[in-house]
Copies of this chain bind each other. A is one copy, B any other.
Amino acid sequence: MQETRPPASPPGAYAPTGRTVPTRSAERVAYDKDLVHEILDEGYVCHLGYVRDGAPVVLPTLYARVGERLYLHGSTGSRPLRMTGARDPGLAVCVTVTHVDGLVLARSFFHHSVNYRSVMVHGLARQVTGPEEKRTALDALVDHVVPGRSRDARPASAKEMAATAVIRLDLDEVSAKVRTGGVNEEPEDLSLPHWAGVVPVHTVYGTPLAEPDLAPGVALPDYLAAL
């Protein structure tokens, strides 16, 4: 389990594979790297799938992207982390990130839909053991959730580093799936007396709630006010 640098990210597209070419809605699938990065960078919780005793497990997990690599966060005791540690060449995983952008209400049940952007990454996950790469990953994980935060918190001690597990997954076999726009409708439904349209869905941040025991003089930092 050598320490490695994340692969650089040349512009372009991911090569489709048997797993990333869809059997349906082919018009919604894209392999463009910029689009994939944008979707990944907007979120911080992914759903990590792996196989345990022949059955699937899907775990919500924090992640961050560094170049052409994802880092996923876990504790050393969690099952997928222990499984990646024990395996060579790695644990087969599928990581999916999904943003819902709107509810699409058609005049017919059939054309009801959701506007969304999702990314699916297939690959072999490995535990990160090199201290330098682990620190890079932890910085990225903290900054991915709140940009700028990693400079305003105490870095992990050696003991804390040992208790934190990080797995890496390179962005090789990747696809995005996107639905945007308005309502599809059967022509004969257009005159029906039903409202149709799109209800936008947004994720927003509320007012930060400070702990009651902040050290004297500690104010709300600019990077939080900017959220």
Give the one of A122, A138, A145, A217 with max B CB within 10 A.
A145
Asked if residues B183 and A211 are in contact (CB atoms below 8 Å), the reply is: yes
| A190 → B minimal CB distance (Å) | 6
Complex CA distance for A163 and B110, rounded to whole angstroms: 9
Question: How many of these chains are in the complex?
Answer: 2
Mark each residue of chain A from 183 to 218: 1 if its CB lies under 8 Å from any CB of chain B, else 0: 101000111111111111111111111110111011
Interface hits, A38-74 → B, CB 8 Å = 44-45, 47-52, 54-60, 62
| A206 → B minimal CB distance (Å) | 3
Asked if residues B60 and A98 are in contact (CB atoms below 8 Å), the reply is: yes
Complex interface: chain B residues within 8 A of A23 (CB): 77-79, 82
Asked if residues A116 and B193 are in contact (CB atoms below 8 Å), the reply is: no
Complex interface: chain B residues within 8 A of A169 (CB): none
A203-B200 contact in complex given A152-B195, A195-B218, C-beta closer than 8 Å: no
Interface hits, A134-188 → B, CB 8 Å = 138, 141-142, 145-146, 149-150, 152-157, 160, 163-164, 182-183, 185
Given A56-B58, A197-B214, A199-B224, 11 more A-B residue pairs with CB atoms under 8 Å apart are A44-B114, A60-B116, A103-B145, A105-B146, A108-B153, A191-B215, A194-B218, A195-B221, A197-B211, A198-B209, A202-B203
